[in-house]
A and B are shown apart, each in its own frame.
Chain A
Amino acid sequence: MRTAVSSILSEMKDPSPLCFPDYEQTYLDHARIWILVQGASEAQLAHLRTHHARWSQPTPPGPPSQWAAFRYLTHYPLENNEWRDFQTFRGVMGLLSFVTWPEATMAVKRHRQTQAQLASSLRAHRLIAPPNCSHELQGPVLLVAPFERKDFVGLDLDSRINKKRTLGRFKKHLGDLALQSGRANEAFTFYEAALEHLKSCNDWMWLGNTVECLCALSVLAGTSFGPIFEVEPFIQEQLYRGDEFVEKCRELVVNYSKYRYSGMIETEACVKAVRVMIAQRQTLHAAEFLQNVVFINLNMTDTEKVKRFAALSELYGEIGFSRKSAFFHRVAAMRCVAPHNPQPEWELCYQLLLKTMPGYFFPMAHQGTVSTNSNHRVDSSKGWATVQVQILQELVGTARRMGDHLIAIKHLVFLLENFHHCLPTADLDTTCQEIFTLATRMKQQHLPLPKYTLHSIPKLIKFQPVSAVPESGSWGGSAESQPTGPFLFTPILNYEKRRKRCEWIKGEACEVEIDLITPPIPISVVDMRLLSEGNALDPCEVSFVMNPSDPKPIVHVKLTAIPQSFGDITLTGVSFVLFGLEVECLLKDLGLDSEENCPIVHVNPSLPRLHTHLEVLKAPVNPKSLEIYNGETLDMDLSIVGAQEEIPLILSCTMTPHVFNSCVSIMDQRLNEICIKSHPDVKTRISLRGPTTSCLSEETDEYLTSSSSSSSSTKALTLTLTLKSAPPSADSDRVPPKVCINTPMQKISLHVLPSISVCWWDVFPSENPRECYLVIDILNSTSDEAEITYLDGKKIIVIDSQAKCRVPIALEKIASPDESEASFARHIDDQVNIVWSLKKLERNGLVSLKEIQLTPNMIQTLSLCDIDWSLFVNGQQWLGMELQAQAGQPIEVTIRLSRPTLAAASTEDKHEKWRCMFSLNCHYEEEVTPSGQIKRIELPSSGSKCVRSAGNHQNVTYKAVIIAPNCGNLFLKSSCEAMIPSDQATRIVELPLVGITIQN
């Protein structure tokens, strides 16, 4: 719109004078009489403007004679009055001075002074009369704009062009006067005439002026403002409207722009046009004219520049260009405190910067008012973070320069809250430091600091109240029924679960677990505590440090609070002191899961509270983790403290893996659940037996067969003791009292160590027909010397670490009715009691015989036969003694079998005979070499078999004679098979090996 070079027709002779554009001016002011008011108070001005409203805003179109409209100015630069020839209305016609007595002389002096300055235009002071055209019609004189005066020096004033110019300008002047006195029709005629004259002499400046006047007339008589003037219909038709108006405005601006010194007039023309366009909603045109104002180069003071940009941004704001408006507000603000400015106005700068907020934080403007209140949160990912951060930093800087620390802190907190992730770590650190410094300064001056809300540093990501009542089952005893359905998962179930309220107890320390994300800078959070609504809550404070160098990005914090009364408590968030500020972090603004959004906890009245205490005898150090040897028994005492009355409770023990359940016994009962009654100082004994090797080894057989293997590996087990209220019993109506068990569940981890075990075994017949020998190899798998006590403490042996020892144990035979292996094993387990003890460690236990597996032969030997035997050597009954004989002499061996049980059962047929088949094996062992090598020689008679029979009540006797050939040891092994006709069963009678030393 604007021509490239400003000065076409006016030359640059001296620096352009200072300009004071009037941004308030409208087209209506063309038709008003301007009056300067001095010394008026605000109230007096308001009185003037309202009580003379019918003049200042003459709405009903009346006859021209009644027209009088005033514009009251409180301040008018003299420079602008100079333009009164160019635009007649600019000439201030009235001067009103209000006088107050104390300063009366001063006021009068000033009145005189102003009167003298404005003398050329002033018609009256104190007295105002409308101008009369007839007075002016003394004959045309050349009217000039202030800057034109020099241009006309020496010009031929009598030239045809100049005459036209003079006439044209004068007509325009008359038009102005007519308009000011309300004669719109007349004014139009004058303007039209002026236009004709000026066009012919290319007087662009005045041409523009006339067009502007016509624009004003068009607006005042048109429909835009609701016609102020009524004009003749034929004139009405010639007025500018719509696009023509815009076109004319553009034309006049172009005309003005041809002159260097017309900047002020051009600016005002643009502003006036823009106001009309705003009213007509021609936004883009308005923007175009406003953009033009930016280009106009004016010589101005800094204050005027600020005013100009502020006015521009106001106008941009009015057309809805909030960003442009913000931009110019910022430009204006920067002008206020420009480095070369000797008197920077920080207050004004701050006010202007504040006005930029709606524009720069535009995305939020849709949702409502924008404020820099730290409560307000911005979605910084959607905005112009770079620009916004700069604005905020400028706001902070300005506020600091103003010395208003409170505002500076407010903006800093806002910056931190919304843009912490856009700031580089160094800037973030500076920001936090700044907050701290300002907060400290505030405190030093004993100034109060408000509470701030801060959600981003440190960022809270989890808020979970912990139920003080440990399990629903252990509370009150009845809530055992969990809803079960056919589905593994249903959302309904989950929903129910989620709705489950957290239970707290009055007077107890209750906890909330929170997770915080470590910020990129180290911070120290002081006095973090819970915030709540509802019932009184006494929060405990926690202080901690968050350091980005920590390997964990998330810090877990437990906040404790003690409810003071029962009922519901809504937890609203946490508060803490950060950078010296009291900060609140409210859950509702965090956008956590709905579950965590303001959780409600239910506070129960305090209940009888039971404390459990588990004491492990022999292992006082850490009862939570124990080492136990195979076969060792550990006793634990569970005491329940705090009960005032008898409360039935259920104690259950479970061992995981499940296999080892049998290792636990409660009060000597092999149960995993027992009903106990809480009583002050009652102890429940729980015995724990180290599981046997066979339980531990998965490949039992393999382990047992390879006698050398030692299980050095330990196994980890977990013993869980659970205590809960007993459900109401069926036989009593009494509901068990409610209790709260402090630690209803105890977990003990066990490490099972290998100890003393049996790695080989066999069973041999004994010299006593009613007994046999169990021979076992005992392996010490510990790393210490073990002492083994067996035969009821009569026999003690010592086995080195990792050594084996063979032990014979005399065992009574049993007459088992079912002959199952289990019954024999049980028999062995009951009869044999082998105790080991590690003296050094003061540990002891039992050697388990459970892994002994019996072969049919062993069972044979073990079972008590209903046939008795006795052995005679050389006529003497052998009872396990050492035998000696001479080589070459005959040895007589007699075996007699009897049936002692038959006497009792006499129903047996006495004539029946029973048969026995004897077999006798003899072998001979001889030391062949001095080294002790043994040679085994079978005697020729070995293996001979012989059948004898006798009546049922008689004994069967078998005799054999053996001659030993030479020195050595002779071994006799005999056995017999007995056939008893009554049950047709064969009984095998095994006789022990008999050794005879043969001497020469």
Chain B
Amino acid sequence: MASCVGVLSWSNSPLFVRSSDSERQLADQYALHTSLDVIEEKTSSSLTLHAVANKKVIEQQTRELYLGVLFATEKQKVFGYVTNTRIKFIIIVDASNVGLRDNEIRQMFRKLHTAYTQLLSNPFYTPGEPIESQKFGQIVQGLMART
């Protein structure tokens, strides 16, 4: 379903990149990298909005984690999701996958977020280090294989 799944750290360095097609790995890296511009813009704009609003509103309003389509090209669509700790999840979907609904994408991100949370519970994983967990890899593999 997803052609590429990427997890980027709060400092925008890649923690995990998995492409369904290994030949497209580099191209996907470029796509992930460029999508950061939009993510930063979207998250910072929401921050400035919050800053304008009064404090209570900030407390109540939590930023929507799902950012939607970051950008699209003729071949693929790039979706983004940013956790409250500024960990970025990016899913790239083939543009030919027309039947895909927004809800399905959200569900994929939720799964990814849960997997990441479980990864963080592992005391042997240092946050900010590249992810090498097999379990996490399997879940991502599942997201990419699912039809």
Cα–Cα, bound, A732→B114 (Å): 85
- Considering only CB atoms, which chain A residue lies closest to B41 in the complex? A283
Binds A, one of B11-19, B55-63, B85-93, B117-125: B11-19
Name the prevailing secondary structure of the A interface residues: helix
Q: Which of A263-271, A383-391, A485-493, A782-790 contacts B (4 or more CB under 8 A)?
A: A383-391
* Cα(A382)–Cα(B72), bound, Å: 26
By a CB distance below 8 angstroms, the chain A residues around B72 are 291
Q: A382-B13, A383-B13, A384-B14 are in contact. Are A284 and B45 (CB under 8 A)?
A: yes
Given A294-B73, A382-B11, decide whether A323 and B37 contact each other with a Cβ distance below 8 A.
yes
A647, chain B: closest CB distance, angstroms: 61
B29 touching A384 by the CB < 8 A rule?
Answer: yes
Expressed in whole angstroms, the minimum distance between the Cβ of A39 and any Cβ of chain B is 42
Question: Known contacts A291-B71, A295-B74: does B33 contact A387 (CB below 8 Å)?
Answer: yes
CA A363 to CA B29, docked complex, whole Å:
16
Question: Is B34's beta carbon under 8 Å from chain A?
Answer: yes
- Decide: A323 near B13, CB < 8 A? Known: A294-B73, A386-B29: no
Q: How close is A281's CB to chain B, nearest CB, in angstroms?
A: 10
List, in ascending order, chain A residues with CB within 8 A of B26's CB: 386-387, 390
Given contacts A284-B41, A291-B71, A387-B26, contact A327 B33 (CB under 8 A): yes
B41 near A321 with CB under 8 A, answer yes
Q: Chain A residues near B14 (CB, 8 Å)?
A: 384
Q: How far is the CB of A356 from chain B (nearest CB, A)?
A: 11
Instruction: State A384–B31 Cα separation when bound (angstroms).
Output: 12
Q: Would you call A320 an interface residue if the criterion is a C-beta within 8 Å of the partner chain's C-beta atoms? A: yes
A363 and B12 within 8 A (CB)? yes
Interface residues of B in 13-50 (CB under 8 A from A): 13-14, 25-26, 29-30, 33-34, 36-38, 41-42, 45
Q: Are B12 and A387 in contact (CB under 8 A)?
A: no
Looking at B26, B29, B42, which has the most chain A CB atoms within 10 Å of its CB? Answer: B29
Interface residues contributed by chain A, number (CB under 8 Å): 25
Q: Which residues of chain A from 319 to 348 have any CB-CB distance to chain B below 8 Å in the complex?
A: 320-324, 326-327, 330
Partner of B37, one of A295, A324, A382, A387: A324
- Max chain A C-beta neighbours (<10 A), residue from B11, B33, B41, B72: B33
Q: Within the assembled complex, what's the spacing in Å between the Cα atoms of A384 and B8? A: 10
* B29/A387 in contact, CB under 8 A: yes
**B41 to chain A: which residues have CB within 8 Å?**
283-284, 287, 320-321
Let me know if A362 is at the binding interface, CB within 8 A.
yes
Shortest C-beta distance, A978 to chain B (Å), equals: 93
In the complex, what residues of B have CB within 8 A of residue A324's CB?
34, 37
Task: Select from chain B the residue with minimum beta-carbon distance to A321.
Answer: B37
What is the bound-complex CA distance between A360 and B13, given in angstroms? Answer: 11
Q: Which residues of B contact A327 (CB under 8 A)?
A: 30, 33-34
A278 to B: closest C-beta gap in Å: 13
A445 at the interface (CB under 8 A from B): no
Q: Which residue of A lies closest to B32 (CB)?
A: A384
Distance to closest chain B CB from A64 (angstroms): 41
Q: Mark A292-327, 1 if CB is under 8 A from B, else 0.
A: 001100000000000000000000100011111011
**What band does the interface of chain B fall in when counting residues whose beta carbon is under 8 Å from A?**
20 to 34
A705 on interface, CB distance cutoff 8 Å: no
Q: How far is the CA of A362 from the CA of B38 in the complex (A)?
A: 14
CA distance A322 to B41 in the complex (A): 11
A residues within 8 A CB of B13? Answer: 363, 381-384
Complex Cα distance, B12 from A387, in Å, reads 14
**Contact indicator B30/A387 (Cβ below 8 Å):** yes
B11–A323 contact, CB under 8 A? no
Determine whether the beta carbon of B12 is less than 8 Å from that of A362: yes
Measured CA separation A7–B34 after assembly (Å): 30
Residue of A nearest to B73 (CB): A294
Closest to A316 in B: B37
Question: Can you list, as one digit per residue, whether each of A351-369 has a CB less than 8 Å from chain B (1) or not (0)?
Answer: 0000000001011000000
Complex Cα distance, B42 from A287, in Å, reads: 11
Given the complex, which residues of A lie within 8 Å of B74, measured CB to CB?
295
Q: Which of B26, B30, B73 is most buried by chain A, counting CB atoms within 10 A of its CB?
A: B30
CB distance from B100 to the nearest CB of A (A): 16
Q: Chain B residues near A390: list those with CB within 8 A.
A: 26
Residue interface mask A650-662, B partner, CB < 8 A = 1: 0000000000000
| A323-B34 contact, Cβ under 8 Å, with A284-B42, A363-B12 | yes
Assembled-state Cα–Cα distance A880/B36 (Å): 118
Given contacts A287-B38, A384-B13, A384-B14, contact A323 B45 (CB under 8 A): no
Can you list, as one digit per residue, whether each of A469-512 has a CB less than 8 Å from chain B (1) or not (0)?
00000000000000000000000000000000000000000000
- From A283, A362, A383, A384, give the contact of B45 (CB < 8 A): A283
Residue in chain A with minimal CB distance to B44: A283
Are B29 and A323 in touch, CB under 8 angstroms? no
Do A363 and B11 contact each other (CB < 8 Å), given the known contacts A283-B41, A386-B26, A387-B26?
A: yes
Q: What CA separation (Å) do A324 and B34 show in the bound complex?
A: 5
Which residues in B have their C-beta under 8 angstroms from that of A382?
Answer: 11, 13
* Set of chain B residues within 8 Å of A322, measured between Cβ atoms: 37
Closest Cβ of chain B to A219, distance in Å, is 23
CB distance from B62 to the nearest CB of A (A): 20
CB distance from A987 to the nearest CB of B (A): 89
| List of B residues within 8 angstroms of A320 by Cβ | 37, 41
Nearest B residue to A387, CB-CB: B29
A382 to B36, CA, bound (A): 14
Name B67-121 residues within 8 Å CB distance of A: 71-74
Question: Could you tell me the distance between the alpha carbons of A316 and B12 in the complex, rounded to whole angstroms?
Answer: 19
Considering only residues 935-990 of chain A, those with a C-beta below 8 Å from chain B are: none
What 4 A-B pairs are tightest by C-beta distance, nearest first? A321-B37, A327-B34, A382-B13, A323-B37
Q: List 13 interface pairs A-B (beta carbons < 8 Å), by A numbering.
A: A283-B41, A284-B41, A284-B42, A320-B37, A321-B41, A323-B34, A324-B34, A326-B34, A382-B11, A383-B13, A384-B14, A386-B25, A386-B26
Residues of A within 8 A of B (CB): 283-284, 287, 291, 294-295, 316, 320-324, 326-327, 330, 360, 362-363, 381-384, 386-387, 390
Question: A360-B33, A387-B30, A390-B26 known; 15 other A-B pairs, CB under 8 Å?
Answer: A287-B37, A287-B71, A316-B37, A320-B41, A321-B34, A322-B37, A323-B34, A324-B34, A327-B30, A330-B30, A363-B13, A382-B11, A384-B14, A386-B25, A387-B29
